[in-house]
Amino acid sequence: MRPTFLVAWRGLWRGRTLWTLLAAVAAIHFLLPGIVRSDGTDAGAFEMLVRVVCGSVYALVCVASLSIGGGMFAKEREDDMLSQSLVRPVSAFSVAVGRWLAIELLFACVILANVVMLNVVQSGKGFAPADCRLHVPPALPPAEVTAAGAMEAFLRDARTPESVKKSSRAAILDLLTAKEYERYEVIRPGQTAMWPFPVVTDGLLAVKTRFSTMYGMKMDMNGVFRYGNVVGVVSNGTQSVIEVPLTACSDANTNDIHILSFTNTGKTDVMLRPRRDVELLATGDSFTANSIRASVEMLALSGLLAAFGLFLSSALSRPVSLFTAAVLLAAAMMAPDAVSQFPDEFNATMGEKAGLAISRAVMMFTSAISEISPVSDLASGRMIVTNEVFRAVMLDMVAFPALLLALAALLLRRKAK
C-alpha cells in the first residue's frame, strides 16, 4: 500500500495540484471578504464572512475531490500505466486505498490551510469571533413514530379525501412525516405550553425561538419561559428569531427540570413549530475548536467523494466518469429541495411522481452527506458535538469508502483481464 500511496502522492505533487488548490484557498480568503455585505453588526459581518469564505472552500473541496478521484484511474488506463500498478503481488484493493490516501492527504493540507487562514488572517482584520454555543433541541419522539401513530386517525377522518385513503401506506406516512415537522402548536392568551428537553444543568444561557401568528403578521407578544429554576421573560415581536436570556428565579418549579414551559401573558394568539422553532442554548467552547471539528467533517466528506470518484473511474473513461460524477452531485444537492417542494404526491402527475421517487432514493443514499453542515454550523455559532464528528468519520471516512474502494478494486481486476 505504501508504494502505491507514494506514487499517487508524487503524481499530485508534480502536477502542482496541491499548490493550485492552496492558491485558490488564499484567493478566496483575500478577495471574497472585500465584497461581503452584512447587516452592519460585527456578528453579522463575521457570520457572512464565514458563510462566504468557508462555503467557497467547502464547494472547492467537494468538486475537486470528486474530480480528482473520478479521473485518476481513467487517466492511468488511457496512458497504459494502470497495468504497471496492478502487477502482483500488489492487490487491487491496496492500489485503490493508496490512491485514496494520497487524495485525502492532499485535501487535509488544503483544509488545514483554510483553518489557519480563517483563525489568523481574519482575526488580523479585526474580526473577533464569538464562542460557539451548544444548541439543544426538544426531546420529542421521532417524526416517523408520531406520524405512524396519527395515521389511523387520519384515515378515519371524514375530511380525508377518498383518493388519499386508497393510496399506499408508505406514501401516507411520508406525507404525515413531512407535515409533522411543520406542525404548529397554538398558544392562546393565558395558556401554557410544555415541551420535554434533555436535562441541561451547566452553562444554560437562553432559549432560541421564533413565534408566528395565524396570518403571518408581525405583532407584539409577551410571555414567560420556565425551565427548572430559571426563567426568561419575552417582550418582542412575532415572525423574528429571538434569544431569550434565562436567569435564576427562587420561586421557579425545580421539580420538572426536563420540561421547558411557555406561558402566553399577552393578548395575541401565538404559535410555533416544536421541531423547528424552539431550542435551548448552553455554553460551548471556542470558535477555533469548533472550526477544527468542522474541518474534520469536511475532510470526512472529501474522503467519501474521492472514494466514489475512484469507484467511477475504475470502470468508466475519464469524460464519462466526470460527467456522471457531476450529474450525481447535482442530483444530491437538488433532491432535498425537490422533496420539500412536493411533499404531497397524491395530486401529482406521473412525471412528478417519478421525479419525487428518484429524489427520495437519492436522499436515502446521500443522507450521510446531506446531514453534515459544517459551514452552516460554524457560521451560526452552533457547537458541533463530538458524536457528530465521530459519526461522520466512521461513515464517510471508514465504512462507505471501504465499500466503494473494494468495489473499485474488483472492477480494476476485471478491466485488467
pLDDT at 57: 92
d(CA 200, CA 383): 15
Class of domain 143-283: mainly beta
Cβ–Cβ < 8 Å for 136, 282: yes
Give the pTM: 0.82
The domain spans of the chain are: 2-132+287-416, 143-283
For each of the chain's 417 residues, which pLDDT tens digit applies? 567 777 777 877 877 888 999 999 999 988 887 777 776 677 777 888 888 888 899 989 988 998 888 877 777 766 656 555 555 566 778 888 888 999 999 999 999 999 998 887 766 666 667 778 999 999 999 888 888 888 888 888 888 777 777 777 777 887 788 888 888 999 999 999 999 998 776 788 899 999 998 877 788 889 999 988 888 998 877 778 888 988 887 665 545 558 899 999 988 899 999 999 999 999 888 888 999 999 999 999 999 989 988 888 888 877 888 888 787 777 776 666 656 666 556 556 666 667 667 666 666 666 656 556 888 888 888 999 999 899 989 988 999 999 999 998 888 777 655
Closest CA relative to residue 226, chosen from 251, 203, 243, 201: 251
CA atoms within 13 A on the CB side of 116: 9
Amino acid code (one letter) for 24: A
pLDDT at 185: 92
pLDDT at 367: 61
d(CA 156, CA 152): 6
pLDDT at 364: 63
